[in-house]
Amino acid sequence: MSYFNCHGCSLCLLSCPMWQQQRDVQYSPQGLFKALQHNASHDDIAPALFSCLLCGTCDILCPENIDITETIKTLRKEAFAHGIEAELNKKIVSLLAQPSSELKIEENTIILPGKALRTKPMRLTKIQSLLSSVADTALSLDDGDDIALALETGIEISEHRLHNFLEPLRAAKRLYVSNGHLLKSLRQWLPASELLALGHSLSLLSELTKELNHNDLYLIEARSFHLDHKQKITHYDQLRHQQGCHMNLDLQRNAIPIAAGGLNAIKPMLDSKEQARWILSGHNIQRIIVECAEDEVVMSQVSDLPILHIADLMEA
Ligand code: SF4
Ligand code: SF4
């Protein structure tokens, strides 16, 4: 379904972070699509187009089944082709041009932890050990952060860069990926491998989740949650009922994103601290537990409560 099928029901506004922050329908899929139906130019829609977090909340709400996040990526690509956001385009293209790591065949199970988690080597070692119960687990040499940014903006990735990124991963039977957006594409590129969200995989380990309690706010990583919403909602509902913890779920059981990583990290269009305050509001809690390391940084800027990564529950 294309944006021409948008009938303006407004359901996509319910949990859209752009709408929540701007309170202006232009900053929503509905606003974008209605503008395009009335011949708005890429220039007209650029502020909203580049504010979108690609969190995927709207994808699961749209009754017309419009693939909203894919549509936004295509529109960004077209906007770049019109010379809009030229500096941003240049920056991502230059990141893609940087030499990638040497090719090396790795283990059966590989983790792509992302930049933020790599700053905590002890935590990373703990995660490796937690996920190594069946097979040895290696860290990828390359997180593909530049590729994830290119995917968010529709920028073309050269065959050479993609080859260097994917080749060391091809032998792996299972990959744990922290970036929910990259995970979506890796499932297409590596169909023979089992591709799992890192945070969600840790949330399946009872030795960690038994430590959660009713004073905790547990922050689900929004992008990977919305990617597999039907399967994951049952798991998180059970976890919430068993442990009594709070979660960043709204009334429609969509995960409210913090806006800490991805494109918004290199070109902030939405205020991640405001997102964090929105998530915290109404919760009477004593600890914050995060699946995503980027979220930890933002939460620490708006809250004095202890903040733990889910892997840290091992020693809590
Ligand atoms: S992906 Fe998220 S930020 Fe973007 S339009 Fe949809 S709900 Fe809003
Ligand atoms: S939910 Fe879908 S059909 Fe409804 S306004 Fe949003 S994009 Fe349009």
* Residue 95 covered by a domain: no
Q: Do 141 and 62 lie in a common domain?
A: no
The pLDDT > 70 percentage for the chain reads: 96
Q: Quick: pLDDT tens for 33-85.
A: 999 999 999 999 999 999 999 999 999 999 999 999 999 999 999 999 999 99
Q: Quick: pLDDT tens for 19-42.
A: 999 999 999 999 999 999 999 999
Q: Do 190 and 244 lie in a common domain?
A: no
Query: Which pLDDT does position 109 carry in this prediction?
Result: 83
Query: Which pLDDT does position 171 carry in this prediction?
Result: 87
238-243: average pLDDT: 96
Q: Do 183 and 212 lie in a common domain?
A: no
pLDDT-derived band at 105, boundaries 50, 70, 90 = low
Q: Do 260 and 304 lie in a common domain?
A: yes
> Is residue 102 pLDDT above 80, yes or no?
no
Q: Quick: pLDDT tens for 123-176.
A: 999 999 898 865 678 888 889 999 999 999 999 999 999 999 999 899 899 999
- Nearest Cα residue to 113 out of 316, 301, 314, 294: 294
Q: Quick: pLDDT tens for 180-193.
A: 989 999 999 999 99
Round the average pLDDT of the chain to a whole number and report it.
Answer: 92
Query: Which pLDDT does position 135 carry in this prediction?
Result: 62
> Is residue 202 pLDDT above 90, yes or no?
yes
Query: Which pLDDT does position 120 carry in this prediction?
Result: 92
> Is residue 107 pLDDT above 80, yes or no?
no
CATH of the domain at 272: 3.40.50
> Taking CB atoms and a 6 Å cutoff, what residues make up the pocket around ligand 2?
6-12, 29-30, 33, 61-62, 64, 66, 68
Q: Do 213 and 191 lie in a common domain?
A: no
Query: Which pLDDT does position 106 carry in this prediction?
Result: 62
Query: Which pLDDT does position 42 carry in this prediction?
Result: 93
Ligand 2 midpoint to CA 32 (Å): 10
Q: Which residue has the higher pLDDT, 4 or 248?
A: 248
* Residue 26 covered by a domain: yes
Tell me the C-alpha distance between 252 and 83, whole Å: 38
The pLDDT > 90 percentage for the chain reads: 80
pTM above 0.75, yes or no: yes
* Residue 94 covered by a domain: no
Using the atom order of ligand 2, give the atom closest to the CA of residue 28: 6
Residue by residue, DSSP assigns the chain as --GGG-----GGGTT-HHHHHH--TTSSHHHHHHHHHTT--HHHHHHHHTT-----HHHHH-TT---HHHHHHHHHHHHHHTTTTHHHHHHHHHHHTSPPPPP----SEEEE--HHHHT-HHHHHHHHHHT-SSS-EEE-S---HHHHHHHHHT----HHHHHHHHGGGTT-SEEEES-HHHHHHHHHH-TTSEEEEHHHHHHT-HHHHTT--TTEEEE--HHHHHHTHHHHHHHHHHHHHHH--EESB-TT-PBPP---STHHHHS--S-HHHHHHHHHTT---SEEEESSHHHHHHHHHH--S-EEEGGGGGG-
Query: Which pLDDT does position 14 carry in this prediction?
Result: 87
Query: Which pLDDT does position 103 carry in this prediction?
Result: 62
Q: Quick: pLDDT tens for 210-219.
A: 999 999 999 9
Q: What is the CA radius of gyration of the chain?
A: 19
Ligand 1 midpoint to CA 72 (Å): 9
Ligand 1 midpoint to CA 54 (Å): 5
pLDDT-derived band at 283, boundaries 50, 70, 90 = very high
Q: Do 285 and 182 lie in a common domain?
A: no
Domain around 182: 109-198
Q: Do 40 and 125 lie in a common domain?
A: no
Domains contained in the chain, number: 3
* Residue 19 covered by a domain: yes
**Beta strands at 194-197 and 216-219: parallel, antiparallel or unpaired:** unpaired
* Residue 50 covered by a domain: yes
Of 183, 198, 213, which closes a domain? 198
Q: In this structure, which residue's CA is closest to atom 6 in ligand 1?
A: 58
Query: Which pLDDT does position 315 carry in this prediction?
Result: 67
